[in-house]
């Protein structure tokens, strides 16, 4: 059985779900938050140590302002209402991405990270304004500025995922098979599952099934 230390998820399909059932993309984002809660619970149940959630890409700024604002409002309210509960559950929150938001959200994110920094049950990495290409270029820039030897060990020190093991498993919901600028370096040897269901209809049973399937895969890492 494969050990499972880190699951990364591209939570895709909120907009389509919202349009289909509520005639509003934003309603889909709201519904998607319920799935986030279910998946966090199941991740703890499965004793997985790291969960990385792709919540907003560096390219998602192209979307209409109304949708972008709605998403960040949703996140603000989630943090305001739920961070104490996450903290009580011994969950650590870390943001990966470029932290350039409203001063209110920046403060909230910093406070949430600080408050939960010492927690040990589960680390949730929220990929927010995250783009893998930016992350990689930034790491190369640091290496060259500090005149350090170019090798894997030095390079990964400058990634936003510093000190986080690479994902064992990547799940993308929403019936689309692409990476959309997510963890291009870190996913080099991850097992990838593309799920047809849209994020708001994905649930803990679907998640456990994927995990069960993952556990039985023969991972080679180049070996035989």
In this structure, how many other beta carbons lie within 10 angstroms of the beta carbon of residue 219?
Answer: 12
Q: Which residue is nearest to Mg ion (CB)?
A: 12
Q: Which is nearer to ligand IPE, 15 or 167 (CB)?
A: 15
C-alpha span between 101 and 180 (Å, rounded):
21
Angle between helices 25-45 and 65-88 (to 10 degrees): 20
Q: How far apart are CA 74 and CA 187, in angstroms?
A: 28
Cα separations (Å) of 49 from 159, 167, 185?
Answer: 19, 11, 20
- Considering only residues 4, 7, 8, 14, which one is a binding residue for ligand IPE as defined by CB under 6 A? 14
Site mask for Mg ion (CB under 5 A), range 11-50, x = bound: -x--------------------------------------
Based on CB atoms, which residue is closest to ligand IPE, 143 or 192? Answer: 192
Residues whose CB is less than 8 angstroms from the CB of residue 144 and which lie 6 or more positions away in sequence, other chains included: none
Name residues contacting ligand IPE, limited to 164-203 (CB under 6 A). Answer: 174, 176, 178, 180
Residue 15 beta carbon to Mg ion: minimum distance, rounded to whole angstroms:
6
Residue ranges in contact with ligand IPE by CB under 6 A? 10-16, 54-57, 60, 71, 174, 176, 178, 180
Catalytic residues: 12, 60
């Amino acid at each position: 059985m494969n050990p499972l230390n880190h699951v990364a998820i591209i939570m895709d399909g909120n907009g389509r779900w919202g349009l289909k059932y509520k005639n509003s993309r934003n309603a889909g984002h709201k519904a998607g938050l319920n799935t986030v809660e279910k998946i966090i619970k199941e991740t703890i149940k499965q004793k997985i140590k790291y969960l990385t959630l792709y919540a907003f890409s560096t390219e998602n700024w192209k979307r209409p302002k109304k949708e972008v604002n709605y998403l960040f409002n949703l996140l603000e309210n989630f943090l305001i209402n739920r961070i104490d509960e996450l903290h009580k559950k011994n969950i650590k929150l870390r943001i990966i991405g470029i932290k350039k938001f409203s001063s209110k959200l920046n403060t909230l994110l910093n406070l949430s990270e600080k408050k939960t920094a010492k927690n040990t049950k589960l680390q949730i990495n929220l990929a927010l304004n995250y783009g893998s290409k930016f992350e990689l270029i930034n790491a190369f820039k640091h290496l060259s500025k500090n005149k350090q030897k170019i090798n894997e060990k030095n390079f990964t020190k400058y990634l936003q995922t510093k000190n986080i093991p690479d994902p064992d498993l990547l799940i993308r919901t929403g019936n689309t098979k692409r990476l959309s600028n997510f963890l291009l370096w870190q996913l080099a040897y991850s097992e990838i599952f593309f799920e047809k269901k849209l994020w708001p209809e994905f649930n803990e049973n679907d998640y456990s099934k994927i995990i069960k399937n993952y556990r039985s895969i023969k991972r080679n890492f180049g070996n035989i």
